[in-house]
Structure 1
């Protein structure tokens, strides 16, 4: 068996791994990238980009359907084959292609393909044909769709977020398992493209909001459009002539048996570290079986191992993977010295309709006694009235003592843009009064945000 000795081994060549490589390559030639599976990053291949192309098509169809309100009557026909041809072509040329071209510029001596597993704290086995001894290791191996045990026997026939964009046409019907970002975005898109779609939850929660009023508003709003069964569990899944027959037991004891042409498993993703024999790594593992790490250094305990990106299972977002890969690299270069990186305030966006966004600290992470909350409904905004898009609401959370904005939960048209304004304010430590000094043009969607901030300021002064 061949053995290679390097200073740095980077497991995974996605957003985090490539970011780490670009940093470390400036310091040394003694490094190796190890990639299992196709190159191209999760975002470009199966995540952000193809899902948004699907959503763009479904939004167009939905806009045409709603045109009569504005005096615009139109007819359209969904061509599923052309829809997926477009997604696959543009994904390959515009998104995955860019990543592949960059990977091709990396000298082959820095790359090896195969499944890496720990043999000991410094040694990795790659497919039983290569042994890599590394002084420092960066774990950036990404994640894979989680599949519940009831569906495991059918895994080769079911769809996940890793396979759904390989379809060649739209199915007649689809069950979507999950009520998180992947399930809601893709489920709503298929529904709007004419697919009979049902979304199944487990705990009764929907999306990422943590304030009870936000959760309630999202569930009520989304159920007006979508067939959502929020609470229960699947007890049986079998393949039948025209698809799949699913049995679902609700928490109140009702058994639901339905058949679908396709089933999309979208109930989250799990770290690929689970296949790397972590018990041999010498790392301290948490109750999930994943390495404990410092988010400011991405260092696992006091070890020579660092982690980044979706492999942590904590912040499966492109921009977080980008940041973490670079923090991990800088920390590894500095090791054994301690070097902290700069984290940014949290921001997460669902491209559903209405959009959802969480910024900074969510409500559940705060002490209700130490904050004031400002709230506004989207139907109060002049621009929302112009669009006849009155669904949703937003909340902002402000420190009671300093008046500094801490976080927000936003549900409605324009959430992605309001979120970026608010996260910038949080990054600069602005008070709600200082944010309100910013001009807000009339009429814009941001006037609802101004209303929520104004309520928070009023309550702050009153307290």
Structure 2
């Protein structure tokens, strides 16, 4: 009943994008500001560029904004926020007044008031205890584990509900059976942003793949552009892209990033395949109905399969760069 007219959103991450786009579709004008070029969880530069263009068709988004001043103001028009920034595209210096500023720039674990230093735990640069991802056990030193276990938002490793649930089970089991600590199963990573188009990440990102393999050509990429994908066109949701990554030599699925229609469902198919350590050829042997968006996934897999080099000689060369698991 009482929507603002103009809102500044800082942080084009998961929360900023979801709430900012929702406000836009409720009739609120927004400007969205980011730092460093990040858009949601996307790490693939080609998908970032695509998402940047698509979102800017609907609202102003500058993922690497130059903001010079933010000031709370109050006058005859009431309270508001005044922001001075360099406008993207025109490079003009603007000062605009907003009804509200929505700060969606991230959170940090609320551990600074627990006096955890008294436990002698080894902390990282953020003041969060260093822990083993498979046991959730913290450490007193590099060689000495402690009796404290940390899970969920407290460790801020993967702040997602399903990950927190898995971590809580592992940490609770190990705390209950201590000192008989056992590694728990960590599932393939999957994350979804409920923007429109949706975003999703599965398995390893391009940055993680490149960190693992370095500069060598030990992985290949396949893609589909949803602009011409049949079912997406029929539904008038034909925006975005899907990119999948496979390991040279073995043909194993390494990961994927999606910016497109029904990404939440495509992401589950990919995460299940990644969890089962399926090859691209095995995935292509699965049935694909017509006409469905999943046919776009098949297009990307076919593209990736054509770009892969398979065989023991390639596997041996790639193993010199990094492990395939």
Do the structures match in fold with TM over 0.5? yes
User: How far does the alpha carbon of each residue in 1:383-406 deviate from its partner, in whole angstroms, 9 at most, with x for none?
Assistant: 011012221001000011211101
Query: In structure 2, which of residues 124, 128, 142 is the aligned counterpart of residue 290 of structure 1?
Result: 128
Question: Partner of 1:225: helix, strand, or coil?
Answer: coil
In structure 2, the partner of 1:328 is: 171
- Between Structure 1 and Structure 2, the one with more helix by share is 1
1:376 to 224, 227, 233: 224
More divergent stretch after superposition (240-249 vs 187-196): 240-249
* Alpha-carbon distance in structure 2 between the residues aligned to 1:295 and 1:310: 13
Residue in 1 that maps onto 2:109: 271
2:48 matched residue in structure 1: 215
Q: Which residue number corresponds to residue 444 of structure 1?
A: 292
For 1:131-210, what aligned pairs fall within 5 Å after superposition? 169-210=2-43
Q: Is the 8 A contact 2:109 2:156 kept in 1?
A: yes
Question: Would you say 1:240 and 2:83 are equivalent positions?
Answer: no
Shift of 1:344: 0.3
User: CA separation in 1, counterparts of 2:167 and 2:183?
Assistant: 11
Deviation at 1:175, TM superposition (A): 1.1
RMSD: 1.8
Residue 273 of structure 1 aligns to a residue whose secondary structure is: coil
SS of match in other structure, 1:207: coil
Deviations 1:219-264 (A, max 9, x none): 1111111111322345332132333233344499864321111221
Deviation at 1:313, TM superposition (A): 2.0
Between the two proteins, the alignment pairs up a number of residues equal to 296
Is this contact kept in 2: 1:247–1:255, CA < 8 A? no
Q: How far apart in 1 are the matches of 2:251 and 2:132? A: 29
> 1:364 is matched with which residue?
207
Q: 2-side partners of 1:203 and 1:405: how far apart?
A: 29
CA distance in 2, matches of 1:458, 1:405: 14
1:271-420 to 2 correspondence within 5 Å? 271-301=109-139, 302-366=145-209, 367=213, 369-420=217-268
- Normalised by the size of structure 2, how large is the TM-score? 0.86
Does the 8 Å CA contact 2:81/2:100 hold for their aligned counterparts?
no
Distance, in Å, in 2 between the alignment partners of 1:433 and 1:304 is 45
Q: Map 1:27-46 onto structure 2 (within 5 A).
A: none
Q: What SS does structure 1 have at the residue aligned with 2:112?
A: helix
Partner of 1:270: helix, strand, or coil?
A: coil
Unaligned residue ranges in structure 2 (runs of 5+): 140-144, 315-325
Structure 1 gaps of 5+ residues are 1-80, 82-168
Distance 2:206 2:132 in 1: 23
Distance in 2 between residues matched to 1:257 and 1:207, nearest whole Å: 26
Please tell me whether the aligned partners of residues 358 and 419 of structure 1 are also in contact (alpha carbons under 8 angstroms).
yes
For the residue of structure 1 that corresponds to 2:288, the secondary structure is coil
1-structure distance, mates of 2:231, 2:180: 53
Query: What residue in structure 1 maps to residue 142 of structure 2?
Result: none
1:274 Cα deviation from its structure 2 partner: 2.1
- TM-superposed CA distance for 1:311, in Å, is 1.4
Deviation at 1:278, TM superposition (A): 2.6
The separation in 1 between residues aligned to 2:248 and 2:30, in whole angstroms, is 44
- Kept after mapping to 1: 8 A contact 2:248/2:309: no
Contact 1:383–1:444 (CA<8 Å) still a contact in 2?
yes
Tell me, in whole angstroms, the C-alpha distance in 1 between the residues paired with 2:170 and 2:256. Answer: 26
How far did 1:277 drift? 2.4
- Residue 314 of structure 1 deviates from its aligned partner by 2.0
